[in-house]
Chains A and B, each alone.
Chain A
Amino acid sequence: QKEVEQDPGPLSVPEGAIVSLNCTYSNSAFQYFMWYRQYSRKGPELLMYTYSSGNKEDGRFTAQVDKSSKYISLFIRDSQPSDSATYLCAMTTNAGGTSYGKLTFGQGTILTVHP
């Protein structure tokens, strides 16, 4: 079993829909959780960053972490065609230290928002 599981999709939604992307994990030591967005033929770029449990909102994007369930989510409100990309969850145990900044990634979910 992978340490981080993410439904690869693909997920296709109409413009304006609310999108929910999810990851589950097995390592209870994970404390830092991220979502990266990757456009076609580009490198991943950081979209959201959260520490421990709770919610974080940034414009149309909301990241949720539920450490008790080992479950994280990314919600996209009023989705736009420009949101079409692959979304990768990532997590780690600490900030630097003995993890040396290493991240464990999910498989990525391919999202298409059609007009």
Chain B
Amino acid sequence: NAGVTQTPKFRVLKTGQSMTLLCAQDMNHEYMYWYRQDPGMGLRLIHYSVGEGTTAKGEVPDGYNVSRLKKQNFLLGLESAAPSQTSVYFCASTPTGRNIQYFGAGTRLSVL
């Protein structure tokens, strides 16, 4: 099992550009999450999904959109990137009725 896979691993964007981060999990988990991690801030929840076709806002959703068209995939989009979105992004998943999250290896994003 690959677990949680994030694509790409690194990306550099210019201000105003758009991009999509892909998260794929092969554990048949219902719940999926997107976080950003900044120095001294821990992990902050951006958006999450409790099942295929559903999404909800987390703690810091502004400037991001998400989609969960297939159960195994959770996409995070930046429509118009800003330097404040420079961060490391992590995806995680959890099975229904559980609270242990399994994380991907992260995507390092720099917005210039």
Contacts and interface: CB of A to CB of B under 8 A. Distances in A.
Given A95-B97, A96-B99, A41 B106 contact: yes
Interface residues of A, number: 27
A17 interface: no
A45 interface: yes
Interface residues of B, number: 27
Contacts of B48: 100, 102
Interface string B22-42: 000000000101000000111
12 contacts: A4-B42, A8-B40, A88-B42, A88-B43, A95-B98, A96-B97, A101-B31, A101-B94, A101-B99, A102-B48, A105-B44, A107-B42
Given A44-B43, A101-B31, 12 more contacts: A42-B106, A43-B103, A44-B90, A45-B103, A46-B100, A95-B98, A95-B99, A97-B97, A103-B99, A105-B44, A108-B42, A108-B43
